[in-house]
Amino acid sequence: MAELRHRGAKDTGPALQQQPSEDKGSDGELKVEKDVASDTESKVDTGVPEVPVPADDTPEVLNKALSGLSSRWKNWWVRGILTLAMISFFFFIIYLGPMVLMMIVLCVQIKCFQEIITIGYSVYHSYHLPWFRTLSWYFLLCVNYFFYGETVTDYFFTLVQREEPLRILSKYHRFISFALYLTGFCMFVLSLVKKHYRLQFYMFGWTHVTLLIVVTQSHLIIHNLFEGMIWFIVPISCVICNDIMAYMFGFFFGRTPLIKLSPKKTWEGFIGGFFSTIVFGIMLSYVMAGWRYFVCPVEFNNDSNSFQVDCEPSELFQLQDYTLPSILESVTGWTTVRLYPFQIHSIALSSFASIVGPFGGFFASGFKRAFKIKDFANTIPGHGGIMDRFDCQYLMATFVNVYIASFIRGPNPSKVIQQLLALRVDQQLHIFNSLKAHLTEKGLLPALEEAAA
């Protein structure tokens, strides 16, 4: 019995000796977990992202002029001064006309692409991946060739048909675009390096998502511009107004955090920006709807080989009387109001710019938090890079394009005629006879002939 007791104690001894160590280990693990949890909770509570401190890129003149202010008010003045400078530049390019606006959109697109691709390159540059930047810019060239070629064919049809080289390029445009892309695809496959396959495919996806976000949206902005400069200016101005007013309301009245991705965004700024943008959109639409320069579609004049914005404004830009609901009538004392129909559409544009548009900024904030950077670049002091200013604009461009296609745009007779002129003579005669028979059957053709006589 003693031997058994001795053996049992000997056998259980190590287990008993290990148990305290395991308890210590478990206690240590619990302690680490508690520490991590407390650290996480503290990070969540503070909402301060782990980003490197950026270098001060404020011009020396502003630094000297604002040296006596606190960092909070210094940032306020820097942002305010440079915002006014950017708005002034925006008005200047509007004055220069639609062609300059299109060139500016292209330049902004290229700069935004460069900023995003540079982030990817700086993250993965230590791996010395071959051809990454070369292929990225090559794919940008291919996608721009495809989209802008479609635009030229669509809006400059007569000019394209008049010049033989352009006519050939237009006819085989999609095949050429696909061949160019296929060349880049093959170059990417040939550049694959052993042990870095996954990383290279990450960067391949990075480039294509960047192209989808930047190039596609800028192409839609140009399409909106061709519908009339008002469809370009009002949406962009609404996003700018919402950005400014949300910042102002948040700066002076902000108390309640809005979203963790952007700790400085507040509910007070979000709500104040919403109502300010609605009022601003209605007022700006009223001012611009009375000018043909802004409301007429941008068309290419074949005689003068230049753009023109002269037309008879549609009903969308003609004043009409609207009866107010009884609730508003009791408040204002008015029974009817005289508005442009476009002002009603501007409410939808302003609402999107102030409610959904900021999510483009939140998306960009999440992207920057993922890579622990404060801004995409230091192009504009106090504002960051070009992409930091246009993160909401790209989302807005897609909405405006979809909105026009769904609720505004109707059949375009000029484009139908362009397509008819591209057909063979026998096809044109067939369509002519079919249209003549259709009008005669409806009894419209004799009336037209009598009117002509």
**pLDDT band for position 58 (50/70/90)?**
low
Buried/exposed code over 203-241 (b: 16+ C-beta within 10 A; e: otherwise): bbebbeebbebbbebbbbbbbbbbbbbbbbbbbbbbbbb
**Residue bearing tokens 């291919």:** 142
d(CA 110, CA 218): 10
C-alpha 261/C-alpha 47 separation (Å) is 8
What residue type is 225 in one-letter code?
A: L
Cα separation, 100 vs 433, whole angstroms: 44
Max mean pLDDT among 177-181, 317-321, 413-417 falls in 177-181
pLDDT at 80: 79
Q: How confident is the model at residue 373 (pLDDT cuts 50, 70, 90)?
A: confident
| DSSP class of 407 | I
pLDDT of the residue at 52: 43
- Kindly compute the dihedral angle of the four CA atoms of residues 238, 243, 245, 246, in this order, to the nearest 10 degrees: 130
Token pair belonging to 249: 């309301």
Number of H helices, E strands in the chain: 20, 6
How many CB atoms are closer than 10 A to CB 65? 14
**Quick one: how far is CA 34 from the chain centroid?**
42
Name the nearest CA neighbour of 152 among 140, 165, 170.
Answer: 170
How high is the pLDDT of residue 316?
92
Please, are residues 137 and 208 in contact by the beta-carbon 8 Å criterion?
Answer: no
Distance CA 406, CA 64 (A): 53
pLDDT above 90 coverage of the chain, percent: 33
Strands 299-301 and 262-266: unpaired
- 144: which residues sit within 8 A by CB, 6+ positions away? 106, 109, 215
> How is the chain split into domains, by residue range?
229-410, 412-445
The answer, yes or no, to whether residue 34 has pLDDT greater than 70, is no
CA distance 376 to 108: 14
pLDDT for res 125: 66
What is the structure's pLDDT at 3? 44
Which pLDDT does position 453 carry in this prediction? Answer: 54
* Residue 125 CA to its chain's centroid (Å): 27
Tell me the residue type at 200: Q
Structure tokens, 214: 């930047």
pLDDT of 126 reads 56
Nearest partner of 334 among 323, 349, 348, 345, judged by Cα? 323
End-to-end distance of the chain based on CA atoms, in angstroms?
133
Q: 345 pLDDT exceeds 90?
A: yes
Mean pLDDT of 186-212: 90
Instruction: Using the predicted structure, report yes or no on whether residue 43 has a pLDDT greater than 50.
Output: no
Which residue's entry shows tokens 């890579």? Answer: 371
pLDDT range class, residue 245, cuts 50, 70, 90: very high
Mean pLDDT taken over the chain = 80
The pLDDT tens digits for 252-311 are: 898 898 988 888 889 999 999 999 999 999 999 999 999 999 999 887 776 776 777 888
Q: Give the count of beta carbons closer than 10 Å to the beta carbon of residue 115.
A: 20
pLDDT at 62: 63
pLDDT at 332: 82
204 alpha carbon, distance to own chain's centre: 21
Residues contacting residue 316 through CB under 8 Å, at least 6 positions apart: 295, 340, 341, 342, 345, 408
Choose among 65, 104, 98, 101: nearest CA to 81: 65
- How far apart are the C-alpha atoms of 394 and 360, rounded to whole Å? 8
Structure tokens at 141: 């060239």
Give residue 59's pLDDT band: very low, low, confident or very high (50, 70, 90).
low
